[in-house]
Amino acid sequence: MEKIVFITGANKGIGFGIAKHLGLSGWKIILGARHQERAEKAIEELKRLGIDVLGWVNIELRDFNGIEQAAKVIQEKYSGLTLLVNNAGIPGDMSVDSEHTELSDIKETLDVNFTGTFLLTKALMPLLARNNGRIINVTVPSEISPYWHPLAYVTSKAAQNAMMGVMAMEFQQNNTPLEIFSVHPGPTTTDLNGNMSQPGFHDIETIGQKMAELINDGKRHQGEFIELYPIVEE
């Protein structure tokens, strides 16, 4: 069976790093992106490296009707899909504490990072199950770190982690030919955190390579939460 992956938020950041290194290891890539120009630029960069890019799909995770349309495009054009990487997300307002977090910020961050991700996963599950596929969420720990804990973002990812755990249990109980697990890349310099670079942070190239190695390791990771680089006190 061909190795075909759809990665949300794949035109930049960690998503692009995953696309690059999976592509270099033989995967066929479908990019999920919000903007045509950025998607086409990313595709051009990947193709220069000899990577087999099948195309890109316009997807905005806060647009629930749009998610349904994107899933239909994938089902029709890329019926051999074997891997979904839920990478896209928004940071929420990381500059405020919980007392000053607005309800609108909580709702918007949840809509993208949890609800949109859930709807896309749900829509693609039948196709992935037919292909004995996998679902991987790029996330952060649900446990609260004393060093970094923006409420809207951590809440949305905790919900995503719960989704993963419930789905993994149900897949096992129902003998569904699907695998789902979550990966925490660890502190990474990306647009999401304003390109923050501090001791203990890693770059996109390193994370992309580590993610590809994990995906290609031949092991089963049903229901696991895997930390590539745990957050530690410096």
Q: Given this model, what pLDDT does residue 11 score?
A: 94
163-198 pLDDT tens trace: 999 999 999 999 999 999 999 986 555 555 455 455
Q: Given this model, what pLDDT does residue 229 score?
A: 77
Q: Given this model, what pLDDT does residue 234 score?
A: 44
Tell me the mean pLDDT per 10 residues along the chain, length 234. 93 94 98 96 97 98 96 97 96 90 96 98 98 96 77 95 98 98 76 53 82 96 91 52
pTM of the entire predicted model? 0.91
| Residue 95 identity (one-letter amino acid) | S
Q: Given this model, what pLDDT does residue 31 score?
A: 98
Q: Given this model, what pLDDT does residue 82 score?
A: 98
Q: Given this model, what pLDDT does residue 142 score?
A: 84
